Amino acid sequence: VQSKINPILTEQGQSRGAVIVFHDVTDLRRLEKMRTDFVANVSHELRTPLTSIKGFVETLLDGAADDPSLRDRFLKIIQAETLRLQRLIEDLLTLAHIEGQGNRSEVRLSNVSYVQQAYNKIKPVIQSVAQAKGIQVEVDLPDNLPPLFISEDLLSQLLLNLLENAVKYTASGRVWLHVQTAPNHLCLEFGDTGCGIPEDILPRIFERFYRVDRARSREQGGTGLGLSIVKHIVEGIGGTISVNSELGVGTVFTCHLPRAI
Ligand code: ADP
């Protein structure tokens, strides 16, 4: 609480009392803290791959480049860290774009399943990870889906982030996307038979940079921003997202996206 005191004085300048105004600044402080935490997190996330790239380049220049096997190993690490930086910057730009301009744009594509089109864009990425792990991907997209207040690009991003997570955090079994039309919204269910998420941390997974297992996410190429981007996309068009998960059994994310008509 922040307070401000204004004395009440008589015409002769004698004190008659005071007006004390109390301001509840809890939300303001929380926002300030979120902003400084975010900047600290971004700096840390950018610095880690940069430090690694710098170290390996210096080692190569110091003579490691003369050994072909060492040189190739170090160059592969530099390449992986560069890709990581690129993904991070792309995710940060997507977040900034969604937050800055809003994302409500109506799409009316008659006789064309735009959900199918959005899925086609990302299908090769999902299929290649799934095939490498022997995971079965079931995507069931009805043809005549109602229009939504979302651009095809953002819809692709939403499908990509949730399906990529599903295949990333699943060792074997199935990953699915089921779509159903309800009177006021479209219901998208993303499920997997993966590792699951501990119940006590479920509410935190939509926070920026929050990961259940940092090392594992990093190893899988995650930035820790995927779900916060999804939440922004969904809530930006007035939708909702919820998650159910059981450790060792699997996870289901359910998105309700409001229909344009
Ligand atoms: P990341 O880039 O680490 O995947 P996300 O924001 O997409 O970041 O997800 C945050 C965290 O939530 C992940 O690090 C992971 O621990 C957990 N998570 C997300 N989706 C799943 C899933 N389908 N199954 C299990 N854990 C998941």
Q: Is 18 helix (H, G, I), strand (E, B) or coil?
A: strand
DSSP state of 209: T
Q: Is the CB of 166 under 6 A from ligand 1?
A: yes
Check residue 75 and give its pLDDT: 96
User: Count of CB atoms within 10 A of residue 58's CB?
Assistant: 10
Q: Is the CB of 207 under 6 A from ligand 1?
A: no
Instruction: Give the mean model confidence (pLDDT) for residues 238-259.
Output: 96
CA of 152 to the centre of ligand 1 (A): 23
Q: Is the CB of 227 under 6 A from ligand 1?
A: yes
Rg (CA), the chain: 24
Answer yes or no: is pLDDT of 109 > 60: no
Q: Both tokens of residue 163? A: 């399906």
Q: Which residue has the tokens 């937050």?
A: 99
pTM to 2 decimal places: 0.83
- H/E segment holding residue 6: strand 2-9
Rounded Cα distance between 34 and 51, Å, is 25
Q: Is the CB of 208 under 6 A from ligand 1?
A: no
Q: Is the CB of 191 under 6 A from ligand 1?
A: no
**Percent of all residues in the chain with a pLDDT value above 90, rounded to a whole number:** 60
Rounded Cα distance between 187 and 166, Å, is 17
Answer yes or no: is pLDDT of 106 > 70: no
Q: How confident is the model at residue 111 (pLDDT cuts 50, 70, 90)?
A: very low
Q: Residue type at 84?
A: R
Rounded Cα distance between 80 and 86, Å, is 10
Q: What is the ipTM of this complex?
A: 0.98
Answer yes or no: is pLDDT of 110 > 70: no
Minimal CA–CA distance to 160: which of 70, 229, 218? 229
The string of pLDDT tens digits covering residues 17-54 is: 889 888 888 888 888 888 888 888 899 889 999 999 99
Q: Residue type at 171?
A: A
Check residue 102 and give its pLDDT: 56
For a pocket test of ligand 1, which of 205, 231, 245 has the largest count of ligand atoms closer than 8 A to its C-beta?
Answer: 205
CA of 32 to the centre of ligand 1 (A): 26
Instruction: Give the mean model confidence (pLDDT) for residues 87-113.
Output: 72
